[in-house]
Amino acid sequence: MLHLFRTKSVEQTIAETGEEGHELKRNLKWWDLAIMGVAVAVGAGIFSVGAQAAAFHAGPAVIISFIIAGVVCGAAVMCYAEFASMIPVAGSAYTFTYTTVGEIVAWIIGWDLILEMLMAGSVISKYWGVYLNVFFDLMGWDFDTHLAIGPFTIDVAPAVIVAFFTTLLVFGTKLGARVDGAMTVLKIAIVLFVVIVGFFYVKAENFTPFIPPSEPSTSSEAVMNQPLWQWVTGMTPSIYGVPGILSGAALVFFAFLGFDVVATASEEAENPKRNVPLGIGVGLVLVVVLYMLVAIVTTGMVSYKDLAAQPDPSLATAFELVGATWAAKVISFGIVLGLATVIMVLLLGVTRVVFAMSRDGLLPRGLSNTGRHGTPVALQIIMGVFMATVAACFDISMLSDMVNIGTLSAFTLVAISIPIMRRRRPDLPRVFRVPGNPWVPILIALANLWLMVNLSVVTWLRFVVWLVIGFAIYFGYGYRHALLGTGELADADAR
């Protein structure tokens, strides 16, 4: 008989953090975690996602889209904070669901997070090289990072940036966090400078109509790109209006990816029961404020219709349309910095998820071995090599919606797990508690599900394919090798 919903006890999960040869070093403070969240959330997306959501989804009302996405993420963060105060262990949503909902659900979340972070890191590394070359061109520097090898052309820039951050993370998460933090502070300064200058070009008439009337989509791929709920209900594909605000919120949720990644570093935080909730909360507030400011400036500088007329609208596009082409250099430099910091946090995140699953036996146990620096050296290098190879050798495009659906699915299951854990283990100390249990966590889960069904049909199709591959690996290897199944750990339900 298959025991797909077997769970680990919280005590065993925490005890494993001290297992010799498989433990991580705790040296991150709350501001390290806050900066980490800002580093991954404020990447190139701050210069493009808001503009694209305004142009093709919500118009000036993209500001409301950001508020909706921020509120939903903030509510989900409360659930992460409660779990992190109880279970400060690597793996984030994977670990939380393993102790509550069960192994099969934990595997789904862990598998999804691996694919999302690894692909996102590969894509962002690729585009870091693209924008680096754009910056060189804008500055008039005759330098190209592309290398011709026979009939093939490889961009070495992604490999260089991934190798750089992989090396930092091998020598310690604290070192990587310091370098990433310095770059993030400079990046935020650039964003604020661009926003302040942009306010001088804002015109009130560009905010009218604030919520553009709904209109049919003219895209040739309108059916596959329309929100899932519109397709299910048979609605004609459309943009703008209230549905546009909601689909815009689903798109800009990409901005809040970082806070799930930060939770994967719980096991490396000092006093995690205090620092993880505080770090995530402070980082989230900073991100919401920055994205709101950029959205106001972008939609205030030019009409959303003018943005929609551009093939790939961004904040730089808005400056170009008002004649401030000088801003392109500053924005390009900001993007290069922004993408670099995202790469480091995604490298850390994907490695820690694989680390947690490996330590549980769902993936080969050898992957969770740690070295003298308190980091999983071999695993970090493997993830870095894979990410750099994909980025350097393959022509891939940004799959922000795929990242969104993975994050939202994790948020949903973590929210559902709150009342389950409250009922199963009311005795566990909780430094932070989500108010209004069980109704508030249930509403949080429903809000995340609603954003998920506002993602496109093609995104859901890809998500299903990913899950099928994941199930094949779980039943082919993970289920039989999991420590809970081999008898090395006692099933929490049997205690």
pLDDT-based confidence at residue 470 (cuts at 50, 70, 90): very high
Closest CA to 33 of 84, 72, 70, 76: 84
Residue 232: pLDDT above 90? no
- Give the residues across from 28 on adjacent strands: 269
Render pLDDT for 67-114 as a digit per residue (tens, 0 to 9): 888 888 788 877 877 887 777 776 777 888 888 888 998 898 888 888
Render pLDDT for 30-74 as a digit per residue (tens, 0 to 9): 888 888 778 777 765 676 677 778 888 888 888 888 888 888 878
Residue with tokens 């750099």: 388
Highest mean pLDDT of the ranges 228-232, 252-256, 404-408: 404-408
Q: How far apart are CA 271 and CA 30, in angstroms?
A: 9
Query: Contact 212/241 with Cβ under 8 angstroms?
Result: yes
Closest CA to 416 of 106, 88, 4: 106
Q: What is the CATH number of domain 10-494?
A: 1.20.1740.10
The residues near 492 (Cβ < 8 Å, ≥ 6 apart) are 6, 7, 8, 9, 10, 12, 99
Q: How far apart are CA 205 and CA 211, in angstroms?
A: 13
**Of the ranges 16-30, 160-174, 238-252, which one carries the lowest mean pLDDT score?**
16-30
Mean pLDDT of 312-323: 78
The pLDDT of residue 267: 75
User: CB 225: neighbour CB atoms within 10 A?
Assistant: 19
Classify residue 426 by burial, with Cβ atoms within 10 Å: 0-12, 13-18, 19+.
exposed
pLDDT-based confidence at residue 439 (cuts at 50, 70, 90): very high
Q: Which two tokens stand for residue 317?
A: 């596009």
What integer best gives the mean pLDDT of the chain? 80
Q: How far apart are CA 313 and CA 332, in angstroms?
A: 14
Q: Which two tokens stand for residue 453?
A: 């069904």
Q: How far apart are CA 395 and CA 126, in angstroms?
A: 8
pLDDT-based confidence at residue 305 (cuts at 50, 70, 90): confident
Instruction: Identify which has the larger pLDDT, 187 or 255.
Output: 187
Closest CA to 483 of 29, 8, 3, 4: 8
Taking each helix axis from N to C terminus, what angle separates 62-86 and 241-252, rounded to the nearest 10 degrees? 40
Mean pLDDT of 291-297: 85
- Positive or negative, the CA dihedral 241, 247, 251, 257 is positive
Q: How far apart are CA 200 and CA 405, in angstroms?
A: 37
Q: How far apart are CA 251 and CA 401, in angstroms?
A: 7
